[in-house]
Amino acid sequence: MFKRFVATALCSALVVSGFSYVHHVDAGPPPHSNAKVENVIFMIPDGYSSSYATNYRHYKGEATILDSMLVGMMKTDSADNRVTDSAAAGTAMATGVKTNNGMVSVTPDGEAVDTILEAANDAGKTTGLVATSTITHATPAVFGAHVESRGSEADIALQLIDEVDVLFGGGKNNFLPKSLGGQQADRHLIEEAKANGYQFVETRDELRSLNGKGDKVLGLFAAGGMAPELDRDETNEPSLAEMTKGAIDTLSKDKQGFFLMVEGSQIDWAGHAHDAAWAMKDSEAFEEAVEEALEFAKKDRKTLVVVAGDHDTGGMTVGGYDEYLSKVEILHDVTATGDYMSSQLNEDRSNAKEILRTYANIDLTSDEEERIHTAGADDIAFTINTIISERAYVGWSTTAHSGVDVPLYAFGPSSDSFSGLLDNTDVPKRIAEAMKIDFAQ
């Protein structure tokens, strides 16, 4: 039986199903500490629910860093639906106000509402956004932009560049003019940003060479969304942990403190695709980013780290397919996404067995091979993902979101104020209270 870890523990050990799980925690200030919170790192693993947390723990084979930070649960419904999308969920987590699905930091009637990032900015703090999606995607957008449709990413880019000191993610095309293949009508936002004091980087090497130089940085590492963690080695894109560290290095130079939001965007994308290996690998990448945040927070002792998924994606289960089994650990053998594997099939898909053996260590049965051969052109990757999920006994109930409550994690001074069952609108209000900044809605 798993024990709930507490922030004051130096070491917890437990045994589950024959495995010994050991995790060390450097407590830092106790959660009820009155120590001033100067910095907040708000981390959102998009689509991450308790099923993802449990599957990831089994995948890892030991307790995760998040286990030691668990303080409560969070409700996720939006203003117009019990099943939220990322825009409405993010709006609640950024503004403390419910809105309709698809809307970005505006009320259901279209009125803009202040965000916790903007409140931190008004209080003299530096601010940052990090994501593996486009940086103009729904979750990062809600912290620094206000539009009625999450699809208005070119408009979101215009607003972010004026509002946020550090922007790291994908979405370069949303900052370029249409004359250069971008989405802006007639503005080159990257050149404008550079003229206004931003350093611009677009590769992992350029990010690493920054080493905290400069006060404002724009990092756009892909034309659209960044690569899944499974496929990132094929690129020169930084990891989520590297972007998180780079943002902290830059923002922490400000003596008045900072607010940083970090999103593990593609856990959600994997859930929509029923790609269990992608979901676990991006959960691992997110955990590594959390470790970067905690390393800073433990040394700084004035930093609050809050972590919560915005909703569940895919209705993931631990076990499934009418069996009392879970073999999620076999996903370690999967070295590519279903999308990538489908792209490697030849025209008649006669090499399906070879591809699945190479990239997933699976010997297809004749039935599984036939399923791949007969899948529609748009369903090949999904079919591959389904076969792998069946082998790992990771179940799915939808390709959309579900409305279940999600775990809420926190570390540092004031972390105990996030305990219990909270609404997603409570989170930014409690962050503001911890930072002692004005955030009246």
Q: Tell me what pLDDT residue 32 has.
A: 59
Positions annotated as catalytic residues are 86
Clarify whether residues 150 and 185 are in a common domain.
yes
Sheet holding 166-170, edge to edge: 199-201, 217-220, 166-170, 126-134, 258-264, 39-45, 303-308, 406-411, 70-75, 420-423
Clarify whether residues 312 and 332 are in a common domain.
no
Identity at 336, one-letter amino acid code: A
Q: Tell me what pLDDT residue 36 has.
A: 81
Residue 65 lies in a domain: yes
- Residues of the chain with confidence (pLDDT) below 70: 1-34, 212
CB–CB of 171/203 below 8 Å? no
Clarify whether residues 233 and 153 are in a common domain.
yes
Clarify whether residues 257 and 333 are in a common domain.
no
Range of the domain at 114: 37-316+405-435
- Quote the number of domains for the chain: 2
**pLDDT tens digits, one per residue of 52-94:** 999 999 999 999 999 999 999 999 999 999 999 999 999 999 9
CA neighbours closer than 13 Å in the CB half-sphere of residue 233? 5
Clarify whether residues 293 and 149 are in a common domain.
yes
Clarify whether residues 373 and 422 are in a common domain.
no
Clarify whether residues 416 and 334 are in a common domain.
no
Q: Tell me what pLDDT residue 211 has.
A: 72
Clarify whether residues 66 and 118 are in a common domain.
yes
Clarify whether residues 280 and 192 are in a common domain.
yes
Clarify whether residues 252 and 343 are in a common domain.
no
Q: Tell me what pLDDT residue 441 has.
A: 73
Clarify whether residues 286 and 214 are in a common domain.
yes
**pLDDT tens digits, one per residue of 313-357:** 999 999 999 999 999 999 999 999 999 999 999 999 999 999 999
Say which CATH number the domain at 65 has: 3.40.720.10
Among candidates 288, 163, 287, 269, which has minimal Cα distance to 224? 269
Among candidates 251, 313, 419, 339, which has minimal Cα distance to 44? 313
